[in-house]
Structure 1
């Protein structure tokens, strides 16, 4: 398993940009989060994006704005004739918000996307895909000229982005954040929601299969088909994500944190945490406290 915490190294910059990156070989992805905000726009591709216990269909016009430390995974069904093409950006949301202060409506929307729970992280912007892709192309030209780090250019891009989200929402007359509301949950989403409620307990495939009223074999297979990963990897990711949060925000002992996230054996908890994060729980806590100082 790849490390869950995938730190973005800005090296003095505030906005990192990649335009129309293309993959035409296997792209299974992995569960991870960043310390910053991430923008992901789909130009073409088939697959799914997993975030917040939901699975979103990958297709042109899908825009994702992941909050800092938000667990997510991209699973693309890729082949030479069906590539996965996306534009991505990593940004410090505090810097972006400061630049939007003079634009109250767009600033308010950005704050909801950055810190709220009711807007995003997924937006269907197919109706304004051409306008959005034109904005990305113009910004990419500036980025290649060495002007992409200028606050004015970054703020202008985000202003245009927020404006297109508002415009598309007004045109359609409905919310654009495409959660699971209004449709039946996929099997994988039901499984992820069950794990969300039970990850701190002893979890077994038997319990999960009983809840789903399906065979253990089918539960495992359908989750892999819809997410590109197995249930154990997702359960581990969710537990370690919660452990990281507790190590940062509480004074619980390492043993207590392990118990609270479903690892009653402290040695096994330390082993799993180091395996997926790269450092021990104690070292992770020390690094976080050091960064706060």
Structure 2
């Protein structure tokens, strides 16, 4: 299973995919993108695993993922149902330049992009006809524009999308901790992994820390998240390794140790299996 899918935005800072039917070719995989990602659901139900939370998606929902934010989407389709989505991935710093004249809209974008998260990263119950009209209009315009004007049209679309999305932003108020819903077992496991992915994994220690038996916690996590604890842990470790390889001067061995894998050969083999490149080749790759 390929864990990470870094979409290359160096050659062109925007990748737009309108109304794509992904029913028959969808693959559930932990992945992250170099840029920011906006996912809008037209048809079908799914759930997202991100930021140690499991969030349901339905038609009319838009989910935003931050750069290099590890996530996994799982389909929940009934017989005869389809999964149709629009996906927009872009370099946020480039869009930020185009938003400079629009102070309020730029502030809204910054809240999505990099301010502390106080709620789930999803907009629910959006007016589907209005968003579909926007998508159809710009899909046609972008398809027919001259290459030298393509980026400008794409940025105008993203600005228009943010402008249409902004009124649906929830009040920026931190909820009283006593009013927060209790975390599911899966979310408690993901929180534990976030604190301990740099250590040698011990299922019994995890189970003890969240007051469950090892068998119970493993079964409950797989049932809710659709994957094993080991797969989720591996995804989190590899995502951190990618960041360290690009952003630090640590040696390959030190990167492995920093994510809880002290055997350098095992780390290199695991990294290549899931990323498609050796750690050294990934470090020196352009994308």
Same fold (TM over 0.5): yes
Equivalence map 1:272-287=2 (5 Å): 272-287=270-285
Cα separation, 2, equivalents of 1:138 and 1:233: 41
Q: Is the 8 A contact 1:19 1:136 kept in 2?
A: yes
1:267 counterpart residue number: 265
Q: CA deviation at 1:201?
A: 1.3
Can you give the 5+ residue segments of structure 2 that lack an aligned partner in the other structure?
A: none
Using the size of structure 2 for normalisation, the TM-score is 0.86
2:31 counterpart residue number: 32
2:217 counterpart residue number: 219
Q: CA deviation at 1:182?
A: 2.5
Q: CA deviation at 1:243?
A: 1.6
Equivalence map 1:77-96=2 (5 Å): 77-96=76-95
Q: CA deviation at 1:126?
A: 0.8
Equivalence map 1:76-225=2 (5 Å): 76-118=75-117, 122-146=121-145, 150-169=150-169, 174-175=171-172, 182-225=180-223
Q: Is the 8 A contact 1:14 1:95 kept in 2?
A: yes
Superposed CA RMSD: 2.9
Can you give the 5+ residue segments of structure 1 that lack an aligned partner in the other structure?
A: none
Q: Is the 8 A contact 2:47 2:57 kept in 1?
A: yes
Q: CA deviation at 1:100?
A: 1.2
Secondary structure at 1:183 match in 2: coil
Secondary structure at 2:284 match in 1: helix
Cα separation, 2, equivalents of 1:20 and 1:200: 39
Moved more, 250-259 or 116-125: 116-125
Cα separation, 1, equivalents of 2:242 and 2:100: 32
Alpha carbons of structure 1 residues 26 and 244: separation in structure 2 relative to 1, 3 Å: closer
2:40 counterpart residue number: 41
Q: CA deviation at 1:71?
A: 0.9
Q: CA deviation at 1:287?
A: 2.9
Q: CA deviation at 1:209?
A: 2.2
Could you give the per-residue CA deviations for residues 215-247 of structure 1, whole angstroms, max 9, x where no partner exists? 333322222222222111110011111122222
Q: Is the 8 A contact 1:46 1:59 kept in 2?
A: yes
Q: CA deviation at 1:119?
A: 6.8
Alpha carbons of structure 1 residues 7 and 156: separation in structure 2 relative to 1, 3 Å: same
